[in-house]
Amino acid sequence: MELEAAKMIGAGLAAIALAGAGVGIGIIFGNYLSAAMRNPSAAQKQFPNLLLGFALAEATGLFGLVIALIILFAF
């Protein structure tokens, strides 16, 4: 296989990381919502934790992007 083609396929495969990030963000917001419905008075206090969890989960997906960029531009 051509090196250029292999690079493109590898960079595309790195986008699979987004599946995990999507599941993670969905779990965080879903669980926050269901917990907030059960106990609305405690919801406001946990909002910073929600944002923290969202940012941490989103970042794992972006590590995939970094891998794709390394494959495309660093080799």
**Chain residues that interact with other proteins, rule: CB under 8 A:** 48, 51-52, 54-56, 58-59, 62-63, 65-66
Say if CB 49 and CB 35 are below 8 A apart. Answer: no
Residue whose CB is less far from other proteins, 27 or 63: 63
Q: In angstroms, what CA-CA distances link 64 with 5, 16, 31, 53, 75?
A: 19, 8, 25, 18, 16
Residue whose CB is less far from other proteins, 10 or 58: 58
Say if CB 68 and CB 14 are below 8 A apart. Answer: yes
Least separation in angstroms between CB 55 and other proteins: 4
Residue whose CB is less far from other proteins, 19 or 55: 55
